[in-house]
Structure 1
């Protein structure tokens, strides 16, 4: 109905405007009722003499009790000396008054002044969805848990991985050499304890039984331990090559020759003090080489 009325007003004959006579614009809503927050369009049309210059309200204008959402301006249309300017404003309201109205102006620019001409106010009725409010307001509780799909927090995992990598890199940069030295000393001590335990076991069996097989196992264990300790193929050397490797060490020379004679000469006796002493000499020599390697690692750590 309002749209039809607006259309009829636009089609009415328009008198010739002269002097200071300025016709009023026509403004109307596109519907009679509105809900809270609902969008509504307001159309503003002004017909005037082509010689007059007018300006329609911009977005900064106070549209209270409404607020503007967007606007659309249409180009000026001129025919027979009469110009038509129009705009459509999309509005909404959050006020609770039952009846709300709006009247927008047009600004007529004159030589020394600006004339403000308002359209007739148009009204809309706010639909009341809540008819009656009881006091006090009842509180409706809902304590049921809503199922929420679990999501894997990839950004946090990546952040933790990066932070951990940076932290470990910093620790390694500062304490890396100390950590490596400590680990080498730990492995060195563990290997020597393992060797000493097994070597003493073979030595005890040899003392009790006088078996050349026990002595052979003890000497083989001694060579394998020094191979790992010195990082050299000592277990493949002959007795002469081992003595030369250790710069003709007297204790190594004596102990290995006594052991070779006992193993290959089959003259071992249970109460042979020389053979027992030879095995003890090899054990002491292995311990001295362990201490020498330990000091080398400690000195290398302190000189860095």
Structure 2
């Protein structure tokens, strides 16, 4: 019973398929009759059909053998008097060596759950033979001239060097980072102290020669600014009493600052220049002692970790 139904279905569909192939055959054509190997050629496919029919033209996945698809261009469907026209242009090329090469593309007609494939008539294109006769054995022609090669920057090598350099620097920092930081701190500490001592001595010498109160004021201001940076505290904004308290009521700091204040604000340095010189020397000694203390703290930091 099942075979009978299948047989009747084939009898019903066969005339319809034959009619479609006879009445609705697509038209295909090449843009020219002769081509060369690898040369581009256009193949046009046009199909006219009732507007109620759903039609699909070959896509880029279709096998165009013996040709290769390079590009496809589809055009919108146009309808007139109930007849629709679908068209597409395929840009092809071939690397086969056959003298005559044919191509017949189909269109796919969707009919309910069935798909009918209707082919256009096969069209032939002729391959132009550039080599008419091949000599055996083949003659090899040597060309020993050096070809000019464009110089290119070696980016992979650069990236490799950058990666190696970063890795090396990271390893050095991991191993010697603390030592490097400590040495740098000691270098900056010594440089700042040498700069301070040089300028402070200049103000002290100028006071010894001229006895000007301005030299004392500049020296004390320089001393406060230096200790502000050294102690990392706003000593330059402290009063004399606050500075003395900051240094735990150090007698030398207290005596030196009060003598300098008396010389600056009381204008009494002319009576006791020797005492003022001594006070400046005491301030210089305090700064040097604080420098040495901080230097030892930095040196011994690695042992206290």
1: CA distance between counterparts of 2:166 and 2:139?
61
Task: Give the corresponding residue for 1:254.
Answer: 255
Larger Rg: 1
Paired residue total = 174
* CA separation of 1:154 and 1:263: change in aligned 2, threshold 3 A: same
* CA separation of 1:275 and 1:154: change in aligned 2, threshold 3 A: same
* CA separation of 1:140 and 1:224: change in aligned 2, threshold 3 A: same
2: CA distance between counterparts of 1:152 and 1:141?
27
2: CA distance between counterparts of 1:219 and 1:264?
13
Once the two structures are superposed, what CA deviation does each residue of 1:88-110 show, in whole Å capped at 9, x if it has no partner? xxxxxxxxxxxxxxxxxxxxxxx
Match of 2:300, SS? helix
Q: 2:136 matched to 1:127?
A: yes
Contact preservation (8 Å) 1:206, 1:215: yes
Match of 1:148, SS? coil
2: CA distance between counterparts of 1:175 and 1:128?
72
Q: 2:152 matched to 1:151?
A: yes
Task: Give the corresponding residue for 1:197.
Answer: 198
How far 1:130 sits from its partner (Å)? 5.0
Contact preservation (8 Å) 1:210, 1:270: no
Task: Give the corresponding residue for 2:46.
Answer: none
Task: Give the corresponding residue for 1:301.
Answer: 302
Gaps of 5+ in 1: 1-124, 132-138
Task: Give the corresponding residue for 2:176.
Answer: 175
Gaps of 5+ in 2: 1-133
* CA separation of 1:153 and 1:219: change in aligned 2, threshold 3 A: same
Match of 2:270, SS? coil
Query: What root-mean-square deviation, in Å, do the aligned CA atoms of Structure 1 and Structure 2 show?
Result: 2.6
1: CA distance between counterparts of 2:199 and 2:235?
19
Contact preservation (8 Å) 1:208, 1:270: no
Once the two structures are superposed, what CA deviation does each residue of 1:165-214 show, in whole Å capped at 9, x if it has no partner? 11111111111111111110000000000000000011110100000001
Once the two structures are superposed, what CA deviation does each residue of 1:105-149 show, in whole Å capped at 9, x if it has no partner? xxxxxxxxxxxxxxxxxxxx9624559xxxxxxx9864xx64332
Task: Give the corresponding residue for 1:53.
Answer: none
* CA separation of 1:197 and 1:146: change in aligned 2, threshold 3 A: farther
Task: Give the corresponding residue for 2:226.
Answer: 225
Q: What are the residue-to-residue correspondences of 1:73-112 with 2, within 5 Å?
A: none
Q: What are the residue-to-residue correspondences of 1:45-60 with 2, within 5 Å?
A: none
Task: Give the corresponding residue for 1:85.
Answer: none
TM (norm. structure 1) is 0.53
How far 1:164 sits from its partner (Å)? 1.0
Contact preservation (8 Å) 1:227, 1:235: yes
Contact preservation (8 Å) 1:227, 1:234: yes
2: CA distance between counterparts of 1:163 and 1:270?
70
How far 1:303 sits from its partner (Å)? 2.9
1: CA distance between counterparts of 2:138 and 2:235?
99
Once the two structures are superposed, what CA deviation does each residue of 1:14-57 show, in whole Å capped at 9, x if it has no partner? xxxxxxxxxxxxxxxxxxxxxxxxxxxxxxxxxxxxxxxxxxxx
TM (norm. structure 2) is 0.53
Task: Give the corresponding residue for 1:29.
Answer: none
Contact preservation (8 Å) 1:207, 1:271: no
2: CA distance between counterparts of 1:272 and 1:148?
84
Once the two structures are superposed, what CA deviation does each residue of 1:68-104 show, in whole Å capped at 9, x if it has no partner? xxxxxxxxxxxxxxxxxxxxxxxxxxxxxxxxxxxxx
